Amino acid sequence: MELKNLNEKEKENFKKLTKKQALYYSVMRAKSGVLYIQGKPGIAKSAIARGIAAKMGYAYHDLRLSMLDETDVGLFPTVTENSDGKFLEHVVPIWAWKANQCPTIIHFEELNRAPLAVRNAALQLLLERSIGLDFKFNDNVLMIASGNLGTEDNTDVEEFDNALNGRLIHYPHDLTLDEWIVDFANENVHPAIVDFLRQYPDKFYVQPNKNHKAYATPRSWTFLSDFIRANFDLKSPIKEWLPMVAEVGCSYVGNTITSFISYCDAQLKLTINDVLEDFDKVKESLSKDFKRDKKSELVFTLKEMDILKFNKKQMTNLIKFLTVVDQDERCGYLLFITDKYDEAEFDEGRAVHHLMSAFKDDVDRMQEENEKQI
């Protein structure tokens, strides 16, 4: 899909959008009616708007209307005076002025949870794209509104009348696990969480219950990931951060944390020695029960071992194991091996030569990339 009247930079940026992001951007760009997305709490309504802005090179302003009053959205009065007398005029909020300085997406969040005065003020902005008589939003300012579902997701919301509904472009917003992983989680969420949810997709969003205020959503999984990443290195083995996650995890994702802890415990039971001594025995489990994070951990452990001391069986199993890890991980390990041993040690290690021969294509590719960098 290609939209008209996009400059070359915008065309390139538009290609970066997912199908859903492209749809939302196209509706906002029309500036006829107001795109209004509704979905469950934590289902990435804010994240998708922020993601569109980031990919398209727009600034992003979010206004959580349930926490504001009408003065925050342009109904703060001031007195202006001319030859005909004194008059009340609207004061333009600084966020609105900033929005006009560059291409910007303004997100009016929780529209159906806002107090009536705030909602009416926001709707004037959304529908008329102005504040008072003199301030107009530029054409490169796009707007989106969002809200919750109400009884379906146990949130207190206000119902809109027909006149208002007729001015909104209603679109039900949801997020699949695959969409979340591809567009956000692969770059921003701890691999252990991503791999767990790939294996147990029913844990991606779990409805809250009366026993726990916290529950699993894309947002709460991201919060838990941020906790791990803020306190531990991304390469830290599971055993280092698991005790703390077991302690606080329920506060992030509710009861679902027990399944995640069990998954992590299972990860700890498979060691690199199991791989080196009998790869065929663990191959099925490694493929079925363990994903990217565990394989990365095993490769990390391999780097601490002396490959020149491996016997023939261990070397054979190592080669088998490296065929099932991601290419980047494999190439990284091979590069590490060539740097770790000096030329004399390397020449003496027939096993090492056997390893490099098994992955000749990878080795050749690494050498070509190194030559290009030089």
Domains of the chain: total: 3
Q: What was the pLDDT predicted at 152?
A: 63
Do the domain assignments include residue 281? no
**What confidence score (pLDDT) does residue 350 get?**
63
Pairwise CA distance, residues 88 & 215, whole Å: 48
Q: Do the domain assignments include residue 279? A: no
Q: Tokens for 352?
A: 């090492």
39 with 129, same domain: the answer is yes
Residue 278 lies in a domain: no
Residues 145 and 46: their CA atoms lie apart, in Å, by: 10
- Asked, for residue 252, whether it belongs to a domain, the answer is yes
Whether residue 277 is contained in a domain is answered as: no
Residue 236 forms part of a structural domain: yes
Q: Tokens 């290419």: give the residue.
A: 327
Alpha-carbon distance 130 to 139, whole Å?
11
- Which of 153, 175, 197 is the C-terminal boundary of a domain? 175
Last residue of a domain, one of 175, 209, 224: 175
Q: What is the pLDDT of residue 218?
A: 93
Report which DSSP code applies to 7.
Answer: -
- 332 and 202 in a common domain: no
The tens place of each residue's pLDDT in the chain, 374 residues long, gives 788 888 899 999 999 999 999 999 999 999 998 999 998 888 889 989 999 999 999 999 999 988 888 888 876 667 677 777 777 677 888 999 999 999 999 999 988 888 888 888 888 888 889 888 788 999 999 999 998 877 666 667 777 878 778 888 999 999 999 989 988 888 889 989 998 998 899 999 998 777 778 999 999 999 999 999 999 988 788 889 999 999 999 999 999 999 999 988 887 888 888 899 998 988 887 777 666 667 877 888 888 888 888 888 998 899 899 988 888 888 888 888 878 776 555 555 566 777 777 787 777 776 676 666 65
User: Residue 343: its pLDDT value, please?
Assistant: 59
Looking at residue 374, its pLDDT comes to 54
Q: Which residues touch 226 (CB under 8 Å, ≥6 apart)? A: none
Say if 168 falls within a structural domain: yes
Contact present, 48 and 92 (Cβ < 8 Å)? no
- Residues 54, 140 within the same domain: yes
Same domain, 63 and 205: no
Assess if residue 349 is contained within a domain. Answer: yes
Of 132, 151, 175, the residue that ends a domain is: 175
CA distance 146 to 45: 7
Residues 47 and 128 grouped into a single domain: yes
Instruction: Mark whether 98 and 161 lie in a shared domain.
Output: yes
Q: Do 256 and 204 fall into the same domain?
A: yes
Claim to verify: residue 144 and residue 24 sit in the same structural domain: yes
Give the domain CATH number at 21: 3.40.50.300
Q: Whole-angstrom Cα distance, residue 292 to residue 294?
A: 6
CA distance 223 to 203: 15
Give the integer Cα–Cα distance in Å for 241 and 227. Answer: 10
As given in the structure block, the two tokens for residue 127 are 């529908």
133 and 195 in a single domain? The answer is: no
The helix (run of H) or strand (run of E) holding residue 119 is helix 116-128
How confident is the model at residue 272, as a pLDDT?
A: 86
Structural domain span for residue 145: 8-175
Reported pTM: 0.70
Whether residues 153 and 239 share a domain: the answer is: no
Domain shared by 209 and 156, yes or no: no
pLDDT of 253: 95
Contacts of 238 by beta carbon, 8 Å cutoff, 6+ apart = 192, 264, 267, 268, 293, 297
**Shared domain check, 17 and 81:** yes
